[in-house]
A and B are shown apart, each in its own frame.
Chain A
Amino acid sequence: MTDTTTTPPEIGGIGHSVKRVEDARLIEGQGNFLDDIALPGMLHMALVRSPVAHARINGIDSDAAMAVDGVLAVVTGELMAAHNLAWMPTLSGDTQAVLATDKVRYQGQEVAAVIATDPYAAADGAELVEVDYDMLDAITNPQQSLAEGAELIRDEKEGQTDNLAYTWETGDEAATEAAFAGADRVVSLTTHYPRSHPSPLETCGIVADVNSVTGQATIYMTSQAPHAHRTLFALVAGLPEQNIRIVSPDIGGGFGNKVPIYPGYVVATAASLLIGQPVKWVETRTGNLISTGFGRDYYMTGELALSNDGRIQAMRVDMLSDQGAFYSDAQPTRYRAGLFHVCTGSYDFPHAHIKCRGAFTNKAPGGVAYRCSFRITEASYLIERLIQTAAYELGIDPAEMRLRNFIQPEQFPYETATGFVYDSGDYPTALRKALDAAGYDELRAEQAAAREEGRLVGIGIAHFTEAVGAGPAHTYDIAGLKMIDSAELRVHPTGKAILKLGVKTQGQGHETTFAQIVAEETGIPSTDIKVIHGDTDDTPYGLGTYASRSTPVGGAATAMVARKIADKARHIAAHLLEAAPEDIDRDADKFFVKGSPDKSVTIQDAAFAAYTNLPEGMEYGLEDVTYYNPPNLTFPYGSYVVVVDVDADTGVWKVRRMVALDDCGVRINPMIVEGQIHGGLTEGFAMSSMQWITFDDDGNCIGSNFMDYLIPTAWETPRFELLETVTPSPHHPIGAKGIGESATVGSPAAFVNAVVDALAHLGVRNIDMPVLPDRVWEAIDSAGG
């Protein structure tokens, strides 16, 4: 491992594997999750969800529910409409039903809410709300949705005459077409990235506490973006923003699922407002899986224009996305398909053109970036599957194919065909290191010998490049809010400090790693720094934690504010040492006069002096706040190699080796980085091998609990062998690039490529995820193997 530390372990700055300070309370049951919150007089809410995918509502009968002991109210769409809250805007400029008034448009859609004195009464009441439905045909895929004569799903939407949600394109079409026309070879791949679900272990929930006298709304909710949610609450509900306090307590995982505002939040808040008592809603597991933000569901056709010697000249992509009933993707405003245009990957070629259409279907809405920086997962998957397909078609080794096309280290900063400016990288070194660790040449020899014996061995490679850390204000906003972020640092007289963040941890370890950044920059031991986040009354503004943006944006803000503090401390130290500030030097934990390190003061001395003994004219105190607008995204990358053995009789495949090299720039806490990679690889393995949210022809969700939506355990998860290179981001204050999502983004292609590679000699080029044994067996069988 690369040692990047400049501080001793007792300071615990960057590069130290400091143990996570948040873990003790979480492990010992002293965390404070949403469902732990209990307020005096708190009521409980249960949602009534549609059992069918598409139907007109004739009427709702609440009498039986109201007769249940403890039930106080049944909230329907009609009541919400009376307060102008039956519909709400989405993060992508569409509108979404809060409680259905006219039609239900997917199974699991919220139809009514029961408010009761305890959760059992609420659940019993919800069972008894009778909704009279007139069934309509369900549309369960986007091809069906856009076909001639398909039933109009969004009939309430003015001007909407078909089921098209959006169209988007980018790149230079003319130049791309010209390159294809002149190419020696064109290779294509059509694949579906199936619908998955972030499925955090803690489901979504809220305790809404609206004071009927003061109008103060204290909203405890499972939010990855509390500040953005406060502003959106103000804009949607018309509440004055100073009276809204969002508190996002300990969160049991988010993965993008806790970015959107869900109907349950709005109904509970309205109920608290109308009743005048706090209202708690904790979503059921099934509710979470069938109604909240899913991931992916993109049908993609990618093509490469190639020379005979395997050089890529251009790429074109045609995609169709399944948006569900409402277009409510959480993504930057100007990018309708997120950052999919990073699909040129790690390769140097001049032309690309991408077009995409999104369709409404009778499925849950809310395409979130599941552990992904806005569609980068789909993009990375497509190019890494496509380049392997091209390698087979041209008879070039898949590793060699990548090496021939890589952007070279000296080309950085490198502007891609779609306009990203990659900050730094050394792709050939990374891939070669991963291949060497796997023993690539020996594996290819073994594969050839195994094929002679009728055994199937596959070697899959993925070399991905991510674009994370949105983002520069000139380009990136969500619902108009620029994607900047902030940090506020207060150093107390005894030298202990409080760091307040605009971003919000959901398990990433901010309370540890952000303190390490401050320790690095100031010399205050990381264990002396308390990190506060999640309470909008107590933290500076920020857009929240998703899209691997905490370290690139919030981490940069933290480094910058710590530098301001360190600089003021240096001026105070100069005063204490009776020297000029420019003559003061600093090592890890003290300030001294240049050339005489024995004459020194500590940061703690300077902190005390900040409140007691200041130079003439200096303002008291040692605190500051920084808002950081990143100059660019950051571009982490990695090289993954997977080896699989496939059982030809059953199609069952097992991972024999998984070598994962990640380059995320400077690693703040190597242990936490490795934990992130392990988690991401596991999720990538899950999506590639077993996990999908699917539907039957009537639109019933298959995958509505953990018996059907599979989360791998330690039993089936492969062993991971981690490697690293460190190529700092040149524009980030501490050179970090972000690691939260790399492994989820990069690994699915590696797993699928490995299985396809095992069957490549039979002519197999694609098996869609999840690569279930029957799909493998069918591929072998239909190839005549």
Chain B
Amino acid sequence: MLPARFDYVAASSVEEAIAAKAQGGDESRILAGGQSLLPMMKLRFATPANLIDINRIGGLDTIERHNGHLHIGALVRHADIAASGEVSGAVASAAPWIADPLVRNLGTMCGSVAHCDPEGDWNSVLLATGAEVIAQGPSGSRSIAIGDFVEDFFTNTLADDEMVVALHIPVPSGRSGGSYQKLERKVGDYATVGVAAHLELAGDGTISAAGVAMTSVAPINRKATGAEAVLVGNAPSAELFAEAGEAAAAAADPRDDVRGSARWKRRVVAAFTRRALAAAAEEAQA
């Protein structure tokens, strides 16, 4: 398990990292936590010519609430999110389910999002909450909706001279709640099925906004728009959530594999959607 030869740069600023990345083109990879990248390099599934280590760059490790969103910097570790008092809803619910404690101590949320692994949990949470990815390039930064950021599995829409510097997750002003439900074979495993749910309630208690997204049951993390449509405008109830669960199951496109049959995975999607919505409603109503 020895990686192929690569060059290594320890960047001391975002500008330096971007410049190095631009120079190396698509042969370059940003190294933050390395918890996905390094195992792939050891298996020689990934053979980047240049690694640009951003761990020494200051100011990238902040979690803060700001202008109606939660700002999560590029060096915020999964464990920081799990331990933070600033997070709630689906983000707080998903954080302890990311990989295992060792990976959570080093791996970063931004790195995981940029990796675009369809079995990764965070992108479902970001789809459900309507988050944005902040990318910085030589001419400044831009905000990319998560749905536009993920191009395909393991492929994002960043330009060669851009890197992810933060995520912005909306913090609703009214009552809201969220949950992430994950079925994994053991701790540290990718999701067999994951469902993220996010609900916002109007003053009359009906659902004013809803987000449902699924992990590991489609070629990329998939938003269950049909389920969301079922929910919005209605009062939370077990029957409504069951209906949304069926809509999510219909939107899923799972495969038969060693983790289980596609037929069964759809049923898990239905059950997890119900449960995630119930937990989200409970948090919103609390």
Task: Specify whether A and B are partners.
Answer: yes
Set A284, A285, A710: member contacting B189, Cβ < 8 A? A710
The smallest C-beta distance from B128 to any residue of chain A, in angstroms, reads 20
Q: How far is B271's CA from A652's CA once the two chains are assembled, in angstroms?
A: 12
Given contacts A124-B4, A705-B43, A772-B259, contact A777 B267 (CB under 8 A): yes
> Number of A residues contacting the other chain (C-beta, 8 Å)?
32
A-B pairs, 10 with minimum CB distance: A774-B260, A774-B264, A715-B187, A649-B271, A123-B2, A777-B264, A710-B186, A690-B185, A284-B1, A650-B268
Specify which chain B residues have a CB less than 8 angstroms from the CB of A705 in the assembled complex: 43
- A350 beta carbon closer than 8 Å to chain B: no
Q: Is the beta-carbon distance between B186 and A772 smaller than 8 angstroms?
A: no
Q: Is the beta-carbon distance between A710 and B1 smaller than 8 angstroms?
A: no
Q: Is the beta-carbon distance between A124 and B5 smaller than 8 angstroms?
A: yes
A705-738 interface with B by 8 A CB criterion? 705, 707-708, 710-713, 715-716
The smallest C-beta distance from B273 to any residue of chain A, in angstroms, reads 11
- A307 beta carbon closer than 8 Å to chain B: no
The smallest C-beta distance from A209 to any residue of chain B, in angstroms, reads 23
- A127 beta carbon closer than 8 Å to chain B: yes
Residue of chain A at shortest CB distance from B188 = A713
Given contacts A284-B1, A285-B1, A708-B258, contact A690 B271 (CB under 8 A): no
Q: Is the beta-carbon distance between B185 and A650 smaller than 8 angstroms?
A: no
In the complex, 15 of the A-B residue pairs with CB atoms within 8 angstroms, ordered by the A residue number, are A124-B4, A127-B4, A284-B1, A285-B1, A286-B1, A650-B267, A710-B186, A712-B186, A713-B100, A713-B186, A716-B187, A772-B259, A773-B264, A773-B268, A774-B259
Q: How far is B272's CA from A715's CA once the two chains are assembled, in angstroms?
A: 21
Q: How far is B1's CA from A773's CA once the two chains are assembled, in angstroms?
A: 32
The smallest C-beta distance from B4 to any residue of chain A, in angstroms, reads 7
Interface residues of B (CB under 8 A from A): 1-2, 4-5, 39, 43-44, 100, 183, 185-190, 192, 258-261, 264-265, 267-268, 271-272
Q: How far is B190's CA from A201's CA once the two chains are assembled, in angstroms?
A: 21
- A418 beta carbon closer than 8 Å to chain B: no
Specify which chain A residues have a CB less than 8 angstroms from the CB of B4 in the assembled complex: 124, 127
The smallest C-beta distance from B72 to any residue of chain A, in angstroms, reads 25
Specify which chain A residues have a CB less than 8 angstroms from the CB of B100 in the assembled complex: 713, 715
Q: How far is B44's CA from A774's CA once the two chains are assembled, in angstroms?
A: 32
Set B2, B183, B188, B189: member contacting A773, Cβ < 8 A? B183
A201-218 interface with B by 8 A CB criterion? none
Residue of chain A at shortest CB distance from B44 = A127
Q: Is the beta-carbon distance between B189 and A119 smaller than 8 angstroms?
A: no
Q: How far is B189's CA from A773's CA once the two chains are assembled, in angstroms?
A: 15
Q: How far is B96's CA from A715's CA once the two chains are assembled, in angstroms?
A: 12
Q: How far is B186's CA from A712's CA once the two chains are assembled, in angstroms?
A: 6
- A236 beta carbon closer than 8 Å to chain B: no
Q: Is the beta-carbon distance between B187 and A710 smaller than 8 angstroms?
A: no
Specify which chain A residues have a CB less than 8 angstroms from the CB of B189 in the assembled complex: 707, 710
Specify which chain A residues have a CB less than 8 angstroms from the CB of B272 in the assembled complex: 650
Residue of chain A at shortest CB distance from B184 = A716
Residue of chain A at shortest CB distance from B2 = A123
Residue of chain A at shortest CB distance from B256 = A774
Specify which chain B residues have a CB less than 8 angstroms from the CB of A715 in the assembled complex: 100, 186-187
Q: Is the beta-carbon distance between B186 and A716 smaller than 8 angstroms?
A: yes
Q: Is the beta-carbon distance between B1 and A119 smaller than 8 angstroms?
A: no
- A174 beta carbon closer than 8 Å to chain B: no
Q: How far is B40's CA from A705's CA once the two chains are assembled, in angstroms?
A: 12
